[in-house]
Amino acid sequence: MDSKWITVQQKTFTKWLNTKIETRNLEVKDLVVDLSDGVILIHLLECLSNEPLGRYAAKPKLRVQRFENANLSLDFIKSRGIQMTNIGAEDVVDGNRKIILGLIWTLILRFTINDINEEGMTAKEGLLLWCQRKTACYDEVDVRDFSASWNDGLAFCALLDIHRPDLIDYDALDKADHRGNMQMAFDIAHKEIGIPALLDVEDVCDVAKPDERSLMTYIAYWFHAFSQMEKVENAGRRVEKFVNNMQGAWEMQSNYERRMAALLQQIREQMESWQHATFEGTYVDAKKQATEFASHKRGKKRDWVAEKSDLATLLGNIKTKMATYRLRVYEPPPELALEVMDQEWANLTKAEMMRGQLINETIREQNALRKSFADKANDFAMALNTMQVAISGLDGDVEDQLLHVRRLSENLPPLDSYLDKIAIVDAQCEEANIEENDFTTYTYDELSYELGLVKSSVSKKLSFLENQMVARNMTNLTPIQLEEFESVFRHFDRDDTNSLSELEFSAALASLGLVFSEDEMHDYFMDTSHGRDRVTFEQFIRFMVDVTEDQNTAEQVFQSFREVADGKPYVTEMDLRHSLVPDEVIEKLCELVPEHTGPDMAQDRGVPQYDYIAFMEKLMNEQGGALEDVTNGRSSPTKRTNGSH
């Protein structure tokens, strides 16, 4: 080994050792001399392993005591499964420089470098791959090794720029100023990021081939610093994604409450209007009011029927979605519950019956034919209502719901046949000039329209539940990812066939950030659809499973909040900004998350503190017990991802 390399390596290893023992107010000046009594070596091993080595001579005066200290250290190293060759206590006590440098390098590998893992490679290969990936987009940088590839300082500058572009203007660098670039990178890394200054500029710039071990030791600190930074930023992105995806569920709830309140108000206003209406007692007036009443039933009433059906389905979908996410089931305000709507609808039906009877007093005829039509119409309407109630009242396990809806679907063909019979009686009424019917509020057109709504409800519910079954079985995806993919699928399924054409499939992937060439997209479509002309929901989700690896469970969201808060029981706006959460997401969180009421911490006193624990407890499903696991330190492991330029 060249003597200059020995000097650089000893200097670098000395600085590394001092960063490890500085918590004990110790410092090594001469690596060879200061380790000779074994005391510093014992301190180093205790700091690295967080374990005591036992009794030793703290101030050895005799050579035998030095040997005992050195043997204690070497035995401890061997007990940890660390392989050492040709290293004995006499090498430490007698100051064998090369052996001591080899011993320190063994410890650096074990405690600083070996935990680096990229795609299952060795520590050295993994660290090199990490450097190459991070600098791949810089034309002037070509990292091939841990030696001459770093001479010009640009590799260090590129690592800073890819992770912290706010600290360096890479494009403005003088690429020929090797020493200046190197010094700038070293200074920023030490002062702004806290990376120990293990190397000097001349150790890298002034030699043709810098010492590999010294560079690996130093660059390993860069890896750990930026990996931790990416972990915090990933936690912030997870919080952001959680809020953005949950926004859809909150909007569904707000939409339900707004629409239900409006529908109830319209129904009550209509009933009050009929209650105060009067008749002139003439046939002309009765016919006029009959026309208005018929117009109401063909117009507003149909809109109300559709809205009532949609609201019942919407509420069921909200509850199913929240249960799928293992979050607390949504219950609307008592005054907006479905039971209130059912009661008001019954009142409306009664009011319509009374209204029809009053109007028809002067134009009644052909009661037998009316009664025949009314009996069939009322029976048919009751059957439709029973099916609609069955659909809107579904809850519990998705498989049970799917079984019930399939049974309801089997009952639709007989209803078509029965409606044909009603059409025959309706034609007979028209031939007899019968326009009003005291015995029913329904017309043939109204029943046909409502049957279409029921068919649509059954079809949509079948698609929704089948999609939920598919989503539930996709264990490689998080609920939040499923919400995003399901929302995109529904958006591009314009014809409600629960499938996508090739053009719709391409547009859906593009909206998720997956853009391919025309030939690639065609190949993906044909593979996913198994050669057919449509991609089903299950095939779409399975395709997304293949290209999606990250998980984002509610437990991980809670863990991300805790990482963003640096372990505190609350989070501040500054914590969220440091994690790069966008301003609009921070504003939304400040509205939704309650303020923390516990004792203030000194560093955040006077700053608004938000209780993310209470926020997540309110959202998490109590049956799952997931939050209790997280708060007790049993959270699921998260997957580390690299940042991008």
In terms of domains, do 357 and 423 share one?
Answer: yes
Question: 199 with 337, same domain?
Answer: no
| Same-domain status, 325 and 447 | yes
**Residue 535 lies inside a defined structural domain of this protein:** yes
Say yes or no: 291 and 436 in one domain. Answer: yes
CATH of the domain at 206: 1.10.418.10
C-alpha to C-alpha distance for 212 and 259, rounded to whole angstroms: 69
Is 493 contained in some domain? Answer: yes
pLDDT at 523: 93
Q: So what's the pLDDT on residue 407?
A: 84
**Position with higher pLDDT, 361 vs 95:** 95
What mean pLDDT is predicted for residues 200-206?
Answer: 90
| Residue 254 counted as domain residue | no
User: Mean pLDDT of all residues in the chain?
Assistant: 84
Q: Which tokens go with 139?
A: 């034309």
Name which of 56-60, 79-83, 135-139, 276-280 the model is least confident about: 276-280
Q: What pLDDT is recorded for position 327?
A: 75
Looking at the structure, do residues 315 and 450 belong to the same domain, yes or no?
yes
Per-residue pLDDT for 38 more than 70? yes
Structure tokens at 471: 């989503």
Find, among 201, 124, 123, 119, the residue nearest to 156 by Cα: 201
In the predicted structure, residue 268 carries a pLDDT above the cut 90: yes
435 and 342 assigned to the same domain: yes
535 and 607 housed in the same domain = no
* 404-430: average pLDDT: 86
Number of domains in the chain: 5
Q: DSSP assignment, residue 190?
A: I
Mean pLDDT to the nearest integer, 450-454: 88
Give the pLDDT confidence score for residue 632 in this predicted structure: 45
How would residue 234 be classed by pLDDT, with cut points 50, 70 and 90?
A: low
Say if 242 falls within a structural domain. Answer: no
Closest among 419, 417, 408, 505 to 457, alpha carbons compared:
408
Position 52 in a domain: yes
- Specify whether 432 is located in the same domain as 347: yes
* Same domain as 589, residue 524: no
Residue 628 one-letter amino acid: E
The residue type found at 642 is: N
What is the average per-residue pLDDT within 524-539?
A: 93
- Which residues have CB under 8 Å from 332's CB, separation 6+? 253, 256, 257, 260, 315, 338
Q: What is the mean pLDDT of residues 45-54?
A: 90
> Over 60: is that where the pLDDT of 475 sits?
no
Does 224 map to a domain?
no
- Choosing from 52, 81, 113, the residue where a domain stops is 113
Average pLDDT over residues 337-345: 93
* pLDDT value, residue 402: 79
> What would the two tokens of residue 477 be?
């995806």
pLDDT higher than threshold 60 for residue 638: no
Confidence (pLDDT) at 172: 93
Is there a domain that residue 295 lies in? yes
Residues of the chain with pLDDT > 90, as a percent, come to 38
**pLDDT, mean of residues 64-78:** 91
Q: Mean pLDDT over residues 207-221, rounded? A: 90
Domain holding 331, by residue range, is 277-456
Closest by alpha carbon to 126, among 109, 102, 149, 139? 109
Q: Which one of 547, 581, 601 terminates a domain?
A: 547
Residue 468 domain-assigned? no
Mean pLDDT of the 581-587 span: 88
Whether residue 297 sits in one domain with residue 154? no
Last residue of a domain, one of 113, 147, 182: 113
**Distance from C-alpha of 194 to C-alpha of 452, rounded to nearest angstrom:** 68
Are residue 493 and residue 522 in the same domain, yes or no? yes
**pLDDT at residue 89 in the model:** 87
Q: How far is CA 74 from the centre of its chain?
A: 48
Question: What number is the average pLDDT over the span 157-178?
Answer: 93
* Mean per-residue pLDDT, 92-112: 89
Q: Are residue 287 and residue 421 in the same domain, yes or no? A: yes
Q: By C-alpha distance, which of 615, 461, 642 is closest to 549?
A: 642
CATH code: domain of residue 588? 1.10.238.10
Model confidence at 552: pLDDT above 90: no
Give SS3 for 535: strand
**Contacts by 530-536, CB closer than 8 A, 24 or more apart:** 533/501, 533/502, 534/497, 534/499, 534/500, 534/501, 535/499, 535/500, 535/505, 536/498, 536/499
Which of 61-65, 82-86, 132-136, 330-334 is predicted with the least confidence, judged by mean pLDDT?
82-86
